[in-house]
Amino acid sequence: MKSPLWLLCIASALAVGDAQARDPAQDKADLLHAEAALCLGSEQSDVQSKHEYMDETFIATSSRNEITGFADSIREAESRDPVYTEFRNHDQDVRLYGDAAVIVGITTVRGRSGNTAFSGDYRYTDTWIRRDGHWKLAASHSTKLK
């Protein structure tokens, strides 16, 4: 008869195996694809992309020190305000940490909120988590570049 400790070791090894078996290059490609899809979704006020790529616990800190969450992001897309003519991430660096990842980069935005036009470049840090085999955006922070 095998001891329960032996079975626990096997179960732990199998659980860790999924993260170790994944290809880091593929994870990075998947994350950059997800970020691009969220940018396009923002341009198109697409609620579905937010459901697909954002975790329901999502939290963001804006460059104006405002805290928003998943529901705020959904409301923004549904109201179609702001309207983005450009929402693009670039100069990105992806760091993997098992079932978590951090992406830093620059977001360029242009658009209109109400009657006010806006544009700018923002340094951002996104934190992603892997849930049920899919990458989900869990947190974001941005700072306006001068």
Mean pLDDT along residues 12-32: 76
Look at residue 11 and tell me whether its pLDDT is greater than 50.
Answer: no
Residue 7: pLDDT band by 50, 70, 90 thresholds?
Answer: very low
> Looking at residues 10-27, what average pLDDT do you find?
67
Query: What pLDDT shows up at residue 8?
Result: 45
Which residue segments constitute the domains of the chain, with CATH numbers given?
21-144 (3.10.450.50)
Whether omega before 4 lies within 30 degrees of 0, making that bond cis, reads no
pLDDT tens-digit readout, 31-59: 999 999 999 999 999 999 999 999 999 99
Query: Phi, psi at residue 126, to the nearest 5°?
Result: -110, 140
Residue 127 pLDDT > 60: yes
Residues contacting residue 102 through CB under 8 Å, at least 6 positions apart: 94, 95, 125, 126, 127, 128
Query: pLDDT at residue 14 above 50?
Result: no
pLDDT value at 15 more than 60: no
- pLDDT digits over 71-116, tens only? 999 999 999 999 999 999 999 999 999 999 999 999 999 999 999 9
Please return the burial class of 5, using the count of CB atoms within 10 Å of its CB with bins 0-12, 13-18 and 19+: exposed
The 8-class DSSP code of residue 33 comes to: H
Of residues 20 and 134, which shows the higher confidence score? 134
